[in-house]
Structure 1
């Protein structure tokens, strides 16, 4: 039996705000249930995002809580967004954990990435992604059709980086070893490094390289920390995801702050933007040389 999908960021944000509004009005779940002729369990399910909130139910709650104007309109818009299916739901074979990552990226404001194995998925070229995904054949038998579907998903994920009007802000620190590690042939690597150079010129994308001869005191694995915009001053917890053979998520405030501090340290240790671009350019030239 497959695991139940986790509620989306939008569902959780809506649920948290509805709970905050109820508490602000000094109402209990029983009070709300009595006023709306609901069960107390229904109020609890909505406030804990265990069930999707119908637009009509959200309207009744906002009317009870006397929420009007822009706040009302924003919450209705959030409820409508939460009710919509994401494009990734058309690809059930990717699994719930990967679907959760895509949903988180779709709602995030900023991604802080540290990568010491491969180029982050949000910055991979199609050829590079094909080589990475095909490599999973060692531990998971994939049909050619499934490989192609996964490549399509990875490419569509990247739309968040250039979406308008609010693209996902990226702060990426790459170990130089990532640039030297051959994924595919030299042509794949030249194209990938060239893509990194292009992306690094975008105002909301920072790509820094940690050179091999730099002092590295934090020897942990790759991770991405996702930050989310607040909703009426109510913060949404940062989420860290780490990836090896499987995906893992962390939301505990103390733990995510450890990753934030680690990223800050590596960002300070890495080469500054212009020097990182120079190293990227030199690495691209290095890949053009004949390999023995």
Structure 2
């Protein structure tokens, strides 16, 4: 299982991952091992490995000397240097670097399709401000009010992704029915959240399904996961999962296929989008 913890040197975007993959392929086409390339560049072998694994952000000068060594000429050379400069751009989330410490938000921002299985709470992209505050406070009981407000603000800023123009990503979420029945923050707050969920489900770029209690055992019993897909076919899907011990990113084809198939099974077992919205509306009425 190819897992990467959130404690990376920096949070690589999709472009940064694409650059790392391209540099590794260029070295291999040149017939050089990582050790040989490092020796010719006068670098340590770990530096090459960290760049190729996306753990270190290479500067333009570093990429230039690597491409020269590998014999890469234009137009490929120009394209990779442009990609290097794009990978260095700061995203909106860097204003919340104290909140978003991993790679997820950078990857989510570039995704064209977000498939999410959520067994416990309303997905972050669909939470109301009051609901988000209660969820964050429950997960971080010792947080002070300043940090709590900061985290809620960051979550609300993240939600603008679904309203982005011209091409927002498509969110397809499957929620366990328990989410609708758990009164986080009390019933009045929960009613507002359910009404908001019903409204968001009617967006053209949002598909929402509810997995009813009657299903019994299902493919999502091991916990939440999110499959991110990207516009460029050359960018492989990434699976994200999280827990009390941190974030994990799965990138091996086997793990991605397993999670994709699990999500498809959950969709087949869940209520249709229309039936799901009806159940959400009924739960809000109750």
TM-score normalized by structure 2?
0.82
Question: What SS does the corresponding residue of 1:167 show, helix, strand or coil?
Answer: coil
CA contact (8 A) 2:239 2:259 kept: no
CA-to-aligned-CA distance 1:127-171 (integer Å, 9 cap, x gap): 110111122354xx1100011011111112222222233322211
Evaluate the alpha carbon distance shift between residue 188 and residue 238 of structure 1 in structure 2; reply closer, same or farther with a 3 A threshold: same
CA distance in 2, matches of 1:175, 1:148: 28
1:121 to 124, 131, 138: 124
CA contact (8 A) 2:111 2:230 kept: yes
Evaluate the alpha carbon distance shift between residue 204 and residue 3 of structure 1 in structure 2; reply closer, same or farther with a 3 A threshold: closer
Aligned to 2:9: 5
Question: What SS does the corresponding residue of 2:213 show, helix, strand or coil?
Answer: coil
Shift of 1:117: 1.1
Q: Does 1:205 align with 2:210?
A: no
Question: What SS does the corresponding residue of 1:172 show, helix, strand or coil?
Answer: strand
Aligned to 2:168: 167
Shift of 1:212: 2.1
CA distance in 1, matches of 2:56, 2:74: 22
CA contact (8 A) 2:201 2:277 kept: yes
Task: Mark the runs of 5 or more structure 1 residues left unpaired by the alignment.
Answer: 287-292
Evaluate the alpha carbon distance shift between residue 200 and residue 77 of structure 1 in structure 2; reply closer, same or farther with a 3 A threshold: farther
Aligned to 1:290: none
Evaluate the alpha carbon distance shift between residue 108 and residue 27 of structure 1 in structure 2; reply closer, same or farther with a 3 A threshold: same
TM-score normalized by structure 1?
0.80
Aligned to 2:73: 66
Task: Mark the runs of 5 or more structure 2 residues left unpaired by the alignment.
Answer: 1-5
Within-5 A mapping of 1:82-231: 82-94=87-99, 96=101, 99-138=102-141, 141-218=142-219, 220-229=221-230
Question: What SS does the corresponding residue of 1:271 show, helix, strand or coil?
Answer: coil
CA contact (8 A) 1:116 1:221 kept: no
Aligned to 1:21: 26
Shift of 1:187: 2.8
CA distance in 2, matches of 1:250, 1:137: 26
Evaluate the alpha carbon distance shift between residue 49 and residue 210 of structure 1 in structure 2; reply closer, same or farther with a 3 A threshold: closer
CA-to-aligned-CA distance 1:180-230 (integer Å, 9 cap, x gap): 110113332222112212221222211001122234433614323232337
CA distance in 1, matches of 2:61, 2:246: 39
Evaluate the alpha carbon distance shift between residue 184 and residue 77 of structure 1 in structure 2; reply closer, same or farther with a 3 A threshold: farther
CA distance in 1, matches of 2:77, 2:195: 46
CA contact (8 A) 2:10 2:57 kept: no
Shift of 1:53: 1.8
Q: Which has the higher contact order (CA 8 A, sep 6+)?
A: 2
Question: What SS does the corresponding residue of 1:182 show, helix, strand or coil?
Answer: coil
Q: Which moved more, 1:191-200 or 1:38-47?
A: 38-47
Aligned to 2:3: none
Q: Which moved more, 1:55-64 or 1:195-204?
A: 55-64
CA-to-aligned-CA distance 1:17-36 (integer Å, 9 cap, x gap): 122233335455546975xx
CA contact (8 A) 1:207 1:276 kept: yes
Q: Does 1:52 align with 2:57?
A: yes
CA-to-aligned-CA distance 1:211-264 (integer Å, 9 cap, x gap): 222344336143232323375x53435223133464333333323322222211
CA distance in 2, matches of 1:256, 1:270: 21
Q: Which moved more, 1:147-156 or 1:42-51?
A: 42-51
